[in-house]
Amino acid sequence: MNRLSRAVLGLFAAPRINMREDYGKVRRVQQRLAALTGPRYRTAYRQTVAEVAGRAVPVRVFQPNRKRRDDVLLFFHGGGWVTGDIESYTPASATMAELTGCVVASVDYRLAPEYPFPAGLQDCYNVTRILLEEPHRAGIESAEKVVLVGDSAGANLAAAVSLMLRDEGLRTADRQVLLYPVTHWDHDPKTSPFASVRHHGEDYRLTNTEVQDYLDLYVPDPSQRRNPLVAPLMATDLSGQPASLVITAQLDLLCDEGEEYGRALSAAGNEVRIHRVDGALHGFIALPRFSRSLREAYEVINDFLDEVPSQQEPA
């Protein structure tokens, strides 16, 4: 990378935030930004709830202006399991609907530290299960049309939901799209097995310290952090998973672990495609629509959605 490119990317240097103390401030900033950008999307979605396991989980449903596919993208937002919500992710969800031509259902799962692991995961699992069992709730005839999508911590949740469904002997989704997923528990540059943690953990957007802070808030018990439902790469059995598209960002500390998870899924006999977006930073799915990184990712996602998914027998 030349000096000019590094200088431009330096404008996106990660802010030095103590996430353990300042997560509340980050949430408030996100909410204020959402309030500024939100009005343009007011006609693009409807608000509903999924009544599951005695709890109402808010879901925001986005309709594309021109529907090109019958798939429903069940989306779990990022934010380290601690920040982010369906409000702050409304622009990204609306963009997802427009650039794929699919209905997008964004799930407002519970956040840590108020609700640590596995609360948010259980919300995502329950919504996914009910949609797979009763796809007519989303206006589709078959569960084959449900696609799990997540970015960062949301991709971690999508991968964990797929493992949970398999372990429970239930039908999994046929397809999942994992955008720069968190798949490992160790992001200390001194001990991590991944070079990207050492090369990009102090540079842009997301830092290794921030990821570790997120994990501390999400999973307060250190003995639980190697649980495959927290760190999917720790799973000893990755068979029976959906056809998967794993998209990583070159300048993201999570790049290597995301790609390693894709290879592990493939080695377990699953259909997998791995795509690295060169020059991209963590979180690029939330960039404006003219962003090269975002448009490249959606070209790959659209190709994946157009492929014939592997057919599964209902459990």
252 catalytic residue (yes or no): yes
Cα–Cα dist 133/172, whole Å: 10
| Catalytic residue (one of 152, 192, 196, 293) | 152
Output DSSP code: residue 309. Answer: P
SS3 category, 116:
coil
* 220 phi, psi to nearest 5 deg: -60, -25
Strand order in the sheet with 55-62: 45-52, 55-62, 103-107, 72-76, 146-151, 175-179, 243-249, 272-277
- Which of 203, 196, 201, 128 is closest to 162 using CA atoms? 128
71 catalytic residue (yes or no): no
Region for residue 113 given its phi and psi (left: phi exceeds 0; alpha: psi -120 to 50; beta: otherwise):
alpha
22 catalytic residue (yes or no): no
Cα–Cα dist 202/188, whole Å: 11
The interaxial angle of helices 19-37 and 90-100, nearest 10 deg, is 60
- Which of 94, 119, 120, 118 is closest to 106 using CA atoms? 94
Cα–Cα dist 264/246, whole Å: 12
Is residue 39 packed enough to be buried (19+ CB in 10 Å), middle (13-18) or exposed (0-12)?
A: exposed
Beta bridge partners of 276: 248
Beta bridge partners of 272: 244
Cα–Cα dist 90/23, whole Å: 20
| Catalytic residue (one of 108, 196, 282, 293) | 282
| Catalytic residue (one of 213, 252, 256, 293) | 252
Instruction: Give catalytic residues, as residue numbers.
Output: 152, 252, 282
